[in-house]
Amino acid sequence: MDGILVIDKPAGMTSHDVVARVRRLTGLRRVGHAGTLDPMATGVLPILLGRATKVSDYLMRGDKSYEGTIRFGLETDTLDVTGVTIAEVDAETLTEERVRAAAKQYVGLIDQVPPKYSAIKVGGQPLYKSARRGLDMAEPEPRRIEITAFNIMNWRPGRRPTVDFSVSCSKGTYVRSLARDLGRAVGFSGTLASLRRNMSGAFKISDAVSLERLDAANLSSYLLPIKAGLADLAAVTVAAADVAAILNGGNAAFSQSTGDGPAGEIVVIGPAGETLAIHRQAGKGQTKPVRVIGEGSL
C-alpha cells in the first residue's frame, strides 16, 4: 500500500502517535509523516504510507497556514500553555492597536530563533531532549523564514489578554516563536494558547479525515496517490514499455513541455497514473533520475 493520508490531528497526540495508529491499522512498517505538529496543535498532518515515505522532504518544503490564539502576560519554557510557567505579569494595559501595529513587522523575510523545545538537532541530539534533561543551552541560531500574511483578529482584553490570529508562512517557521517575538515587541510575554494547521503544502484541512472516522475497512478510500503531494513539480507521463527501465534508475525521454519546476525537477508518471520517480532535466527531451519511487510496484 502506497500513498498519502491527510489526517486532521487531534489535540493531545504527538505526530508519532498518529503514525503508530496508522501503522496498526494498516499493518505496514513503512509509515511516516511530513511535518511535525506539537501535541497541543490540531489540523493537517500528511501521513505517508509505503513508498510515499521516499518523498517526505518534498512534502515538507511547502508553505503552511495556521490559525490560533496568543495569550499575553504569560511566559513558559516551551513557549506554549502546556509548558512550565516562568513568569506572569499583568498585561491589562496592552491594546489591540499596539498588537496590530507590532504584527506588521513580522511580515516578509525575517530571522527567527527557534524554541529550545524543538526537534532541531545540535550535536546529533534533539534540543527538546536536552531541555527536558535540564541542560544549560544557548538559544538556537536564527533561521531565515518568510511570513506572507499575519492577521490579528478577535481581541479579548484583560489581565491576560488574548488574540486570535492567522498566519501563512514558509517551511521552518515556528509559530510558538512568533508568539514569543510578538510579545517581546509589545512589551509583554506572548505564549501560544492554541494552534490549528489549515494547510501544509498541497494539502488543506478540507482534504483531511479525523482519526475517529478512520478504520482498516475504509482507510484505502481516503488514500491519495503520491503525486497529489508533488503538485509543484512538472510532470511527464511515460509509456508502459519505459516503466521497467525507469524503476531500475534509467533516464527518461519525453516530448511534452514540462514547464519550470523547482531545480528542474520532474515527476515521472506511469501509464496508470502511478508515480515512478523524480528526475531532473538534463537537456532537451532528456532527464536523469534523482529518486526512484516505484509507487504500486512489487
How many CB atoms lie under 10 A from the CB of residue 3? 23
Q: Residues 79-108, buried b or exposed e (16+ Cβ, 10 A)?
A: bbebbeeeeeeebeebeeeebbebbeebbe
3-state SS assignment for residue 186: helix
Q: Which of 2, 38, 80, 242 is catalytic?
A: 38
Can 38 be counted among the known catalytic residues?
A: yes
Rounded CA gap, 6 and 34, in Å? 10
Rounded CA gap, 189 and 75, in Å? 5
Query: What is the DSSP secondary structure assignment for residue 14, as one 8-state letter?
Result: -
Q: For residue 20, give the nearest of 45, 43, 55, 57 by alpha carbon.
A: 45
Question: Cβ distance 43 to 65 under 8 Å?
Answer: no
Q: What would the grid cell of residue 228 be?
A: 497529489
Q: For residue 270, give the nearest of 292, 248, 245, 242 by alpha carbon.
A: 242
Rounded CA gap, 191 and 189, in Å? 7
Burial class, 144, CB count within 10 angstroms (exposed 0-12 / middle 13-18 / buried 19+): exposed
Instruction: Give the helix, strand, coil percentages of the chain, each rounded to 5.
Output: 25, 35, 40
Query: What is the DSSP secondary structure assignment for residue 176, as one 8-state letter?
Result: H
Give the Cα-Cα-Cα angle 141, 169, 120 (nearest 5 degrees): 30
Catalytic residues: 38
